[in-house]
């Protein structure tokens, strides 16, 4: 579909000739010449947004004053939070978030039809790509048949979802699906979909060049900023609105400049660098800000490392981590098989329009910080937050401190009941390095023999996720560690579940071309699938005896993964401590199988001759890695593997779907159900009402992530979601995961606030999704919410700092809304979740004047009323009356985090999609007159 741009103005619209081709573009220097302001010192990341304003200026949605505000941003020291309407060029989705998004679009077609509108109006206006990458689970591992068996199980579990997605591909315009087994959406985006400079025909048929921009329904959409493509994660509801032509309402962001100098030292990786960056930026505080990386250090930083840093923007809290276009960008585009004419356009456009990072690049930033890459050392992060940086030399002592904290100083070894039920007698107790008397131990009998497990035994070692598997330097490095370990006779410990899940088929190509896949296979890192796997919680079950031992002996099972997330309860229900590490370190940790071992300086094992082996003996040199990357990561490989990216295998091609404009919702489906959002919807919006006499559903602490609010992983039969499926004759083996069932609101409502590690402070020390019901007794959060709904009682949630950190999942907001929560009051919010709450009609509020749930002494027994909402303005402070259990009253002020004027309209309509739907219905009515 042709793009629609703002009015054609000779002031800013110019022509650029590249080779034999001429394209129109919107010129930032021309805007300066036209008297709109001096934009020369804007950071490149902000110039991308400015260009968007120039292209869509229409005097209404985008005005001349909006454009001038960017020049004022520079004069005000990088701060001018004006509300603007931003329109990204395209949308990226993955299947966990994509299925509910397509469900919403299908439901909107039904809703628009019911309102008398044309259902065909519900169509993406911008290109949308959905990559199926979140569904493969690691059921089989450590053998040559693992990949095929996991793919087969993936189709068995998810056929209903795949039929639905294939229907969506057929029913909607501008919507493509990348089939299962292709790769992870962010890596496919970086290696193939992204163009850095996009081009399309406008409504007049003229070709227009402009920066490649996108939003994605996954928080790690930011990865593509490593290739100078401005993108960030949003919830599915916000993405759907963008697809349907609704601009994204945002404030002109602050831009923090992060100067990189020096070079990486021998023995360090891009992962080590990004973990330090995450720590520094979390400490700095960059929520809702852009971060732009600059400095001479970029001259020595390959784009793969840049993408690793950009990927983890959600972990350091920023909207994005952007790298400007430079020679390295062009080198990467060339090496990954992009069209030569496209690359020429990128270079010419960037230099002509002020996006190029040359030697004189020195923009104004809101604030800056600096890192000498020569100071980076090998590191990991954990055990439950990405920003908990630990130098590798301190990893074993940090783990001992963690155990001491969990065990509370008790002599756990003596106090734990040691039971042995296996054959052949109890194994001899092994010494636990660094044990201060607090480590618990237990024993297990498996087909691999009898052995001891204890606090810190590594039961999962996984090379996984878009963050690192997109980086050939660390993947080749992991293969070389495996090769050297294999040559010395080392292999994984028998209790470690090992896996390799590349982010694209290109990774397998170069590992095989280098002969390294054979070495990885030899120590248990066989290919298990192309997808997110362990990082999203699809680590699959541990061997039953190992799982039993962990739970029987109450052990702190541990995982090491090359991912970006290590939140509590995310990786596996059997694992309490999770550590992020580079792929080479994941391999090394699998060899020792124990977080208590000093991996940096200690003995990893013995070689074939009985000699001690240390990490330095198996660690590859920078030159070794670089030479293999040069030999095996080729342009031809990328072109070959992406030639038929949308075709899929025989299984995908065999998925049959009907041809219909609206979806025929199968009533028996437990995966896809018509959601209630648009049913019986009025043609006119309502008004925002004050909240009166609301009850408290939960009182939650700091760093409550979207994983806590809406977990993605497996769940048990005893949970409300499990009971729902059992009642519908779904066997436990077929439960799949919360993430895979996001197309069914009944399952997801029951899974809201159901993370096994969430702690509701209304209860004393209880973990899991529990609260007090209207009768004061402990019950599940779902059952309590339904009881309150039956009584007509509104609900509120109290939280701490960084509420809603982590994934972009809209179900964290959808589930909150469907439980009947009208407001969430926290100390502060992460960007995406705040937006998602507003998009679902739930109002976020922040404490003011130093108030917190603790300082107010909140127990959850309170009744809450919030006034001033009927005349609310963006970011207004309003009165909140808290009636305590003893009848005393506390009057406080809370800040309404409805940030912009358009968001007030969203709340009035009940959500952003209701707003869009009513507008489309009104347009249809006008057209019919």
CATH of the domain at 798: 3.20.19.10
Mean pLDDT score, 287-306: 97
Domain identity same for 582 and 434: yes
pLDDT class of 415 with cuts at 50, 70, 90: very low
CATH of the domain at 604: 3.30.499.10
Query: What are the distances in angstroms from CA 819 to CA 603, 698, 757?
Result: 53, 12, 20
- pLDDT one-digit tens code per residue, 461-471: 999 989 998 89
Among the three residues 618, 633, 648, which one is the final residue of a domain in this structure?
633
**Residue 740 domain flag:** yes
At 846 the three-state DSSP class reads strand
Q: Specify the pTM.
A: 0.88
CA distance 310 to 296: 18
| Non-local CB neighbours of 520 within 8 Å, separated by 6+ positions | 478, 479, 482, 500, 511, 526, 587
pLDDT class of 9 with cuts at 50, 70, 90: low
Domain identity same for 608 and 699: no
Residue 272 near residue 308 (C-beta atoms within 8 A): no
Q: What are phi and psi of 250, to 5 degrees?
A: -150, 165
Q: What's residue 605's pLDDT? A: 95
Angle at 25 between CA 23 and CA 31, to 5 degrees: 150
**Residue 297 domain flag:** no
Beta strand 389-391 pairing with 320-322:
unpaired
Domain identity same for 697 and 815: yes
Closest CA to 218 of 917, 841, 819, 811: 811
Domain identity same for 725 and 784: no
- Which string of DSSP letters, residue by residue, matches 320-388? EEE--B-HHHHHHHHHTT--HHHHHHHHHHHHHHT-B--TT-----SEEEEEEGGG---EEE-SS-TT-
DSSP run (H or E) holding 151: helix 146-171
- Would you put residue 887 in left (φ > 0), alpha (ψ -120 to 50) or beta? left
Q: Using CA of residue 654, residue 660, residue 662, residue 666, what is the dihedral sign? A: negative
- pLDDT one-digit tens code per residue, 541-592: 999 999 999 999 999 999 999 999 888 888 998 999 999 999 999 999 999 9
SS3 percent helix, strand, coil of the chain, rounded to 5, is: 40, 20, 45
Q: What's residue 375's pLDDT? A: 98
Domain identity same for 410 and 436: yes
**Residue 481 domain flag:** yes
> Buried b vs exposed e over 260-283: b needs ≥16 C-beta within 10 Å?
bbebbeebbbbbbbbbbbbbbbbe
CA distance 539 to 803: 26
- pLDDT one-digit tens code per residue, 60-109: 999 999 999 999 999 999 999 999 999 999 999 999 888 999 999 999 99
- Which string of DSSP letters, residue by residue, matches 747-806? HHHHHTT--TT-B-TTSSS-BSSEEE-TTS-EEEHHHHHHHHHHTT--EEEE--TTBTBS
- Would you put residue 25 in left (φ > 0), alpha (ψ -120 to 50) or beta? beta
Q: What's residue 538's pLDDT? A: 84
**Residue 185 domain flag:** no
Q: What's residue 536's pLDDT? A: 82
Domain identity same for 746 and 783: no
Q: What is the dihedral of CA 805, 809, 814, 820, to 10 degrees?
A: -30
**Residue 733 domain flag:** yes
Domain identity same for 722 and 799: no
- pLDDT one-digit tens code per residue, 793-846: 999 999 999 999 887 788 999 999 999 999 999 999 998 899 999 999 999 999
Mean pLDDT over each residue of the chain, to the nearest integer: 93
Q: What's residue 241's pLDDT? A: 87
DSSP character at residue 485: H
Domain identity same for 699 and 726: no
SS3 for 153-196 is HHHHHHHHHHHHHHHHHHHCCCEEEECCCCECHHHHHHHHHCCC
- pLDDT one-digit tens code per residue, 213-225: 999 999 999 999 9
Q: What's residue 200's pLDDT? A: 92
**Residue 651 domain flag:** no
Q: What's residue 753's pLDDT? A: 97
Q: What's residue 409's pLDDT? A: 59
pLDDT class of 414 with cuts at 50, 70, 90: very low
**Residue 530 domain flag:** yes
E strands in 212-360 = 213-216, 230-233, 248-251, 255-261, 290-294, 320-322
Q: What's residue 421's pLDDT? A: 59
The tokens of 307 are what? Answer: 């993408």
Q: What's residue 429's pLDDT? A: 78
Closest CA to 124 of 93, 162, 90: 90
| Centroid of chain to Cα 417 | 40
- pLDDT one-digit tens code per residue, 640-697: 999 999 999 999 999 999 889 999 999 999 999 999 998 889 999 999 999 999 999 9
Please say if the pLDDT value at position 413 is more than 50.
Answer: no
pLDDT class of 518 with cuts at 50, 70, 90: very high
Number of domains the chain is built from: 3
Q: What's residue 896's pLDDT? A: 98
Tokens 């005000």 correspond to what residue? Answer: 76
CA distance 234 to 246: 14
Q: What's residue 448's pLDDT? A: 73
Which residues lie across from 302 on neighbouring strands?
none
Residue 475 near residue 502 (C-beta atoms within 8 A): yes
CA distance 474 to 305: 9
Domain identity same for 703 and 727: no
Mean pLDDT score, 687-708: 96
CA distance 21 to 344: 10
At 638 the three-state DSSP class reads helix
Q: What's residue 713's pLDDT? A: 84
Domain identity same for 844 and 704: yes
Q: What percentage of the chain reaches a pLDDT higher than 90?
A: 82
DSSP run (H or E) holding 451: strand 449-454
Q: Which domain holds residue 498?
A: 379-633
Which residues lie across from 293 on neighbouring strands?
258
Domain identity same for 740 and 848: no
The more confidently predicted of residues 352 and 733 is 352
- pLDDT one-digit tens code per residue, 99-149: 999 999 999 999 999 998 999 889 999 999 999 998 898 999 999 999 999
**Residue 21 domain flag:** no
Domain identity same for 459 and 580: yes
Please say if the pLDDT value at position 432 is more than 80.
Answer: yes
Please say if the pLDDT value at position 297 is more than 80.
Answer: yes
């Amino acid at each position: 579909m042709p793009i629609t741009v703002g009015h054609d103005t000779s002031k800013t619209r110019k022509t650029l000739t590249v080779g034999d081709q001429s394209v129109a573009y919107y010129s930032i220097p021309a805007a300066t010449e036209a008297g709109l302001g001096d934009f020369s010192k804007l950071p490149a990341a902000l110039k991308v947004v400015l260009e968007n304003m120039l292209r869509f200026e229409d005097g209404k949605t985008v005005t001349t004053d909006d454009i001038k505000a960017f020049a004022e941003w520079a004069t005000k020291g990088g701060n001018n939070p004006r509300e603007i309407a931003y329109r990204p060029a395209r949308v990226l989705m993955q299947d966990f978030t994509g299925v509910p998004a397509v469900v919403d679009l299908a439901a909107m077609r039904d809703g628009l039809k019911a309102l008398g509108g044309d259902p065909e109006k519900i169509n993406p206006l911008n290109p949308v790509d959905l990559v199926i990458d979140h569904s493969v689970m690691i059921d089989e591992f450590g053998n040559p048949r693992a990949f095929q068996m996991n793919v087969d199980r993936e189709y068995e579990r998810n056929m209903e979802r795949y039929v639905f997605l294939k229907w969506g591909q057929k029913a909607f315009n501008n919507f493509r699906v990348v089939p299962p087994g292709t790769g992870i959406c962010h890596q496919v985006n970086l290696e193939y979909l992204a163009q850095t400079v996009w081009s399309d025909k406008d409504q007049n048929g003229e070709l227009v060049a402009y920066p490649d921009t996108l939003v994605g329904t996954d928080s790690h959409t930011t990865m593509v900023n490593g290739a100078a493509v401005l993108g960030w994660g949003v919830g599915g509801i916000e993405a759907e609105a963008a697809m349907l032509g609704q601009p994204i309402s945002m404030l002109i962001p602050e831009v923090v400049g992060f100067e990189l100098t020096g070079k990486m030292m021998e023995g360090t990786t891009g992962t080590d660098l990004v973990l330090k960056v995450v720590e520094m930026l979390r400490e700095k505080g960059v929520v809702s800000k852009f971060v732009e990386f600059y400095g001479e250090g970029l001259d020595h930083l390959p784009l793969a490392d840049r993408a690793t840093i950009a990927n983890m923007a959600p972990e350091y809290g920023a909207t994005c981590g952007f790298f400007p276009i430079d020679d390295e960008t062009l080198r990467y585009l060339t090496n990954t098989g992009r069209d030569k004419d496209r690359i020429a356009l990128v270079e010419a456009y960037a230099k002509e329009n002020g996006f190029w990072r040359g030697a004189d690049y020195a923009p104004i930033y809101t604030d800056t910080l600096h890192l000498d890459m020569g100071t980076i050392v090998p590191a990991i992060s954990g055990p439950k937050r990405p920003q908990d940086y630990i130098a590798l030399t301190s990893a074993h002592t940090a783990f001992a401190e963690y155990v001491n904290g969990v065990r509370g100083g008790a002599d756990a070894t003596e106090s734990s009941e040691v039971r042995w039920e296996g054959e052949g007698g109890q194994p001899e107790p092994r010494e636990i390095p660094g044990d201060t008397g607090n480590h618990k131990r237990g024993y297990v009998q498996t087909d691999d023999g009898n052995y001891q497990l204890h606090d810190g035994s590594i039961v999962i070692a996984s090379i996984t996720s878009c963050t690192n598997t997109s980086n050939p330097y660390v993947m080749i490095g992991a293969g070389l560690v495996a090769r050297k370990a294999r040559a010395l006779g080392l292999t994984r410990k028998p209790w470690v579940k090992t896996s390799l899940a590349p982010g694209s088929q290109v990774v397998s190509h170069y590992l095989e071309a280098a002969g390294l896949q054979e070495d990885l296979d030899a120590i248990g890192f066989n290919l298990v699938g192309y997808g997110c796997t362990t990082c999203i919680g699809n680590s699959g079950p541990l061997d039953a005896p190992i799982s039993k031992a962990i739970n029987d002996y109450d052990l702190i099972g541990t995982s090491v993964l090359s991912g970006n997330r290590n939140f509590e309860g995310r990786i596996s229900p059997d694992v309490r401590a999770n550590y992020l590490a580079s792929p080479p370190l994941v391999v090394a940790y699998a060899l020792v199988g124990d977080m208590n071992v000093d991996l940096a300086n200690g003995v990893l094992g013995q070689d074939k001759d009985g000699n001690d082996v240390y990490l330095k003996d198996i660690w590859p040199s920078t030159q070794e890695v670089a030479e293999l990357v040069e030999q095996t990561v080729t342009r031809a490989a990328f072109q070959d593997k992406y030639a038929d990216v949308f075709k899929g295998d025989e299984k995908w091609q065999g998925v049959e779907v009907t041809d219909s404009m609206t979806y025929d919702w199968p009533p028996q489906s437990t995966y896809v159900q018509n959601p209630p959002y648009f049913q019986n919807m009025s043609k006119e919006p309502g008004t925002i009402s004050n909240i009166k006499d609301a009850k408290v559903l939960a009182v939650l602490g700091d760093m409550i992530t979207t994983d806590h609010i809406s977990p993605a992983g497996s769940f048990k039969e005893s949970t409300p979601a499990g009971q729902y499926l059992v009642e519908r004759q779904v066997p436990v083996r077929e439960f799949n995961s919360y993430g895979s069932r996001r197309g069914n609101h009944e399952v997801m409502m029951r899974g809201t606030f159901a993370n096994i590690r969430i702690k509701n402070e209304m209860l004393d020390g209880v973990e899991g999704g529990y609260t007090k019901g209207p009768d004061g007794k402990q019950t599940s959060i779902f059952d309590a919410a339904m009881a309150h709904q039956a009584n007509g009682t509104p609900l509120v949630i109290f939280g701490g700092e960084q509420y809603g950190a982590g994934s972009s999942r809209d179900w964290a907001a959808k589930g909150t809304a469907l439980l009947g929560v009208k407001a969430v009051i926290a100390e502060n919010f992460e960007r995406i979740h705040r937006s998602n709450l507003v998009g679902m009609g739930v109002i976020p509020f922040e404490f003011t004047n130093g108030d917190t749930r603790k300082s107010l002494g909140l127990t959850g027994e309170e009744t809450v009323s919030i006034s001033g909402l009927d005349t609310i303005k963006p970011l207004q402070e309003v009165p909140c009356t808290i009636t305590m259990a003893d009848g005393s009253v506390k009057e406080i002020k809370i800040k309404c985090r409805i940030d912009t004027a358009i968001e007030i309209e969203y709340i009035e309509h009940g959500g952003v999609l209701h707003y869009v739907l009513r507008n489309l219905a009104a347009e249809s009515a006008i057209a019919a007159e």
